[in-house]
A and B are shown apart, each in its own frame.
Chain A
Amino acid sequence: MITDPRHGQSSWELAQIKMTEDVVNRALEKVNLAKGDIDYLLAGDLLDQLVSSNFAARDFPAAFLGVYGACSTMIEALGLAGVMIDGGAAKKALAFTSSHYQATERQFRTPNEYGDKYPPYKQRTVTAGGAFVLTNQSGGAQLTEATFGKIVDLGITDPKDLGGAMAPAAADTILQHLEDTGRSADYYDLIVTGDLGKVGKELTIDLLAEEGCDIKNNYDDCGVLIYNSNQKVGAGGSGCGCSAVVTASYLLPRLMHNNYNKILVLGTGALLNKTISLQGETIPCIAHAVVIENNGKLSTGIGRENIRNDLATSIEDLSGVED
């Protein structure tokens, strides 16, 4: 947990780079892997030219693939890494991403020092980084399927209302996934979108209800989950880091400890840049989905330690299956 948004650095961007390096190192440390054990790195973030991922990847003797899907980057990278491992191109891949509130504000909207207004439907970019180690061996959680989304643009132009802009893309990918797999929405214990916030969450439920798909009971959004209502962050969290940390720190350990068996995680991205939105253009959006399933094993390292410990003590019948 970082309490200083500068993270001991002299700029927001350097803070994000440091944070990304920290999270990548910590992820490897938890699974006892060295940097040389990784075959491929797949990463992206919200800064121009993906600098924080590029800089964090400098120390690795591994091939690096920059991935950009705005806030869907984490899920896009996970899906691609899964495809590479499944196809035999890699044995171990590391997918990571990060986002930083202050750095992202000045990248996409205006610097905070400018003092632009903060309407209630706006979301706050989460300052966080997340990393996933994917291997061809089985562990506590298994990536089974990925559905890559297509770009959906329904004409929203306000870069502060990204939840509303991204909801149709999320709904589209959910429907596509269910159609591809022939499943219904209640197949999953949880369907979770990346960072739609309160506005986008409601909109997604409505859009899917129009298509005859009811997800009210097993649907949530990482942007809504990550903050509590006292934190005054408008409609909730957003950013690459939002879906990354909620999935990695919170959902994966719950999955591993049998709170869920199958979850569908969507990353939702608004593919705008500052210049084009100032020119009044609309915001094309995208959503990618991955299915993560529990495979009855406990592996060390997954999720944040205190969440794991809470779960381990609250569920009794898992002793003896430690992997």
Chain B
Amino acid sequence: MLIDYLLVFLAGGLICGLGQLMLDFTDYSPAHLLVLLVVIGCVLTGLGVYSNLKDVFGAGVTVPVMNFGFILTKGVLMEIEESGFLGLFTGVLERASAGVSAAIIISFLIAVIFKPKE
């Protein structure tokens, strides 16, 4: 039990720590880092590794934005099994719809409520 917490903490910390190092020591912007993490998530899912990582590290790999890559790719792979090539188009937002919709709705609400001052 305790070892699970430790693994989650270490994996999540490692991903975020590496991301912070990239922001601090390179010229890349937060947008570059975001895309890079999502692509890594996609690639790992395509290779079939991501599910295993999830089993071991749990929230450590599902909370960082890498998991968005997993959801996108997983949706595509599942739809391809069911409806073939067309699954590439129908599946990409299938499982990600909750995440995308939540991001849009929450961003909208925040924009309505707050006004930047500085």
| A-to-B contact residues, CB < 8 Å | 5, 102, 110, 112-117, 158
**How far is it, in angstroms, between the C-alpha of A110 and the C-alpha of B29 when the chains are bound?**
10
Indicate which residue in A102, A110, A116, A117 contacts B118 across the interface (CB closer than 8 Å).
Answer: A102
Within 8 A of A (CB), among B45-76: none
Cβ proximity bits B1-32 to A, threshold 8 Å, 1 near / 0 not: 00000000000000000000001100101100
- Whether B23 lies near A113 (C-beta < 8 A) is no
Interface size on B, residues (CB 8 A): 8
What are 15 contact pairs spanning A and B, CB under 8 A? A5-B117, A5-B118, A102-B118, A110-B29, A112-B116, A112-B118, A113-B116, A114-B30, A115-B30, A116-B29, A116-B30, A117-B23, A117-B24, A117-B30, A158-B27
Residue of A nearest to B114 (CB): A113
Q: How far is the CB of A255 from chain B (nearest CB, A)?
A: 34
**How far is it, in angstroms, between the C-alpha of A113 and the C-alpha of B30 when the chains are bound?**
12
Interface of B, secondary structure class, is loop
Residue of A nearest to B27 (CB): A158
**How far is it, in angstroms, between the C-alpha of A112 and the C-alpha of B116 when the chains are bound?**
9
Residues of A with C-beta under 8 A to B118: 5, 102, 112
**How far is it, in angstroms, between the C-alpha of A114 and the C-alpha of B34 when the chains are bound?**
13
**How far is it, in angstroms, between the C-alpha of A117 and the C-alpha of B19 when the chains are bound?**
13
| B-to-A contact residues, CB < 8 Å | 23-24, 27, 29-30, 116-118
Q: For chains A and B in complex, what number of residue pairs have CB atoms within 8 angstroms?
A: 15
Q: How far is the CB of B87 from chain A (nearest CB, A)?
A: 35
Residue of A nearest to B29 (CB): A116
Q: How far is the CB of B3 from chain A (nearest CB, A)?
A: 35
Residue of B nearest to A10 (CB): B115
Q: How far is the CB of B16 from chain A (nearest CB, A)?
A: 15
Q: How far is the CB of B108 from chain A (nearest CB, A)?
A: 14
**How far is it, in angstroms, between the C-alpha of A112 and the C-alpha of B118 when the chains are bound?**
8
Residues of B with C-beta under 8 A to A116: 29-30
Residues of A with C-beta under 8 A to B24: 117
Q: Which 6 A-B pairs have the closest CB atoms?
A: A113-B116, A117-B23, A116-B29, A158-B27, A112-B118, A5-B118
**How far is it, in angstroms, between the C-alpha of A5 and the C-alpha of B24 when the chains are bound?**
28
Q: How far is the CB of B25 from chain A (nearest CB, A)?
A: 11
**How far is it, in angstroms, between the C-alpha of A279 and the C-alpha of B116 when the chains are bound?**
29
Residues of B with C-beta under 8 A to A117: 23-24, 30
Residues of B with C-beta under 8 A to A113: 116
11 A-B pairs besides A112-B116, A112-B118, A158-B27 with CB distance below 8 A are: A5-B117, A5-B118, A102-B118, A110-B29, A113-B116, A114-B30, A115-B30, A116-B29, A116-B30, A117-B23, A117-B30
Q: How far is the CB of A191 from chain B (nearest CB, A)?
A: 33
Residue of B nearest to A102 (CB): B118
Residue of A nearest to B24 (CB): A117
**How far is it, in angstroms, between the C-alpha of A8 and the C-alpha of B117 when the chains are bound?**
12
Residues of A with C-beta under 8 A to B116: 112-113
Residue of B nearest to A12 (CB): B116
Q: How far is the CB of A231 from chain B (nearest CB, A)?
A: 13
**How far is it, in angstroms, between the C-alpha of A115 and the C-alpha of B29 when the chains are bound?**
10
Residues of B with C-beta under 8 A to A112: 116, 118
**How far is it, in angstroms, between the C-alpha of A60 and the C-alpha of B40 when the chains are bound?**
59
**How far is it, in angstroms, between the C-alpha of A117 and the C-alpha of B27 when the chains are bound?**
10
Q: How far is the CB of B9 from chain A (nearest CB, A)?
A: 25
**How far is it, in angstroms, between the C-alpha of A158 and the C-alpha of B118 when the chains are bound?**
24
